[in-house]
């Protein structure tokens, strides 16, 4: 099990103030407001592409099955930057409350190298993934996802660290286990979920 360094929310807040990305030139931002069908700028892991669609201007993970690693990944390579989106579990979700979960995929290189935030399942937020095929997981404590309650997730990757925010509030800051390596970002759906206003701002 890999060791993940965790800092306090206060430390995260101080680091965030210094880590805010400078204005980037055109072309260094990927944005999808899902105003049309899912395009070739997205790919999917451990799930059929037909289980993802656009409904009411949102990217919709339609399957009722529980998945630990159901990702939609944007084809926009980056090393450091900011990933931000809004997610909500719709009222059509048929799983129990303790299984409701979604979150950001902060870095995906391949099936042996990735990390994401599993926010909500079993009432906790977990930072987990793999590095060179070796799995890791760290739980931050209590975190609930409620049906029809939107949440804004944001992760800032900078100087080998990951700052984690939910609804604009700093949750923690951790060491980036894939720091310095180029990859892709996206969203994770543990159950039915809808995503909107997905943005990656690439700083490196």
Residue closest to 15 by CA, chosen among 182, 155, 200: 155
Q: Which two tokens stand for residue 194?
A: 């809808």
* Beta-bridge partner residues of 196: 86
Query: Cα–Cα distances in Å, from 33 out to 10, 22, 175?
Result: 32, 23, 30
What is the tens place of the pLDDT at every residue in 37-88? 888 899 988 666 568 899 989 999 888 777 667 899 999 999 999 999 999 9
The sign of the dihedral angle between the CA atoms of 136, 202, 204, 162 is negative
**Entry pTM:** 0.85
What's residue 68's pLDDT? 67
* Beta-bridge partner residues of 95: none
* Beta-bridge partner residues of 72: 44, 187
Cβ within 8 Å of residue 91, ≥6 positions away? 147, 148
Regions in the chain scoring below 50 on pLDDT: 1-15, 17-26
Q: Which two tokens stand for residue 200?
A: 């990656």
What's residue 18's pLDDT? 43
What's residue 48's pLDDT? 60
DSSP 3-state assignment of 145? Answer: coil
DSSP 3-state assignment of 9? Answer: helix
Helix residue ranges, H only, 101-151: none
What's residue 191's pLDDT? 81
Q: Which two tokens stand for residue 155?
A: 């992760």
What's residue 45's pLDDT? 85
CATH code 2.60.120.560 for 35-151+184-202: yes
């Amino acid at each position: 099990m890999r060791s993940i360094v965790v800092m306090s929310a206060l430390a995260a807040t101080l680091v965030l103030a210094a880590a805010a990305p400078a204005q980037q030139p055109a072309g260094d931002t990927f944005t999808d407001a899902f105003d049309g069908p899912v395009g070739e700028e997205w790919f999917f892991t451990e799930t059929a592409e037909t289980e993802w669609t656009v409904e009411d201007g949102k990217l919709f993970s339609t399957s009722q099955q529980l998945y630990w690693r159901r990702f939609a990944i944007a084809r926009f390579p980056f090393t450091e930057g900011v990933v931000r989106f809004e997610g909500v579990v719709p009222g059509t979700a048929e799983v129990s409350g303790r299984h409701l979960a979604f979150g950001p995929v902060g870095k995906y290189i391949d099936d042996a190298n990735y990390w994401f935030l599993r926010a909500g399942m079993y009432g906790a937020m977990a930072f987990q993934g793999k590095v060179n095929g070796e799995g890791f997981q760290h739980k931050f404590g209590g975190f609930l996802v409620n049906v029809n309650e939107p949440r804004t997730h944001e992760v800032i990757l900078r100087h080998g660290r990951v700052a984690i925010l939910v609804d604009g509030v700093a949750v923690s800051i951790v060491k980036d286990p894939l720091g310095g390596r180029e990859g892709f970002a996206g969203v994770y759906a543990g159950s039915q979920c809808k995503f909107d206003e997905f943005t990656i701002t690439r700083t490196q």
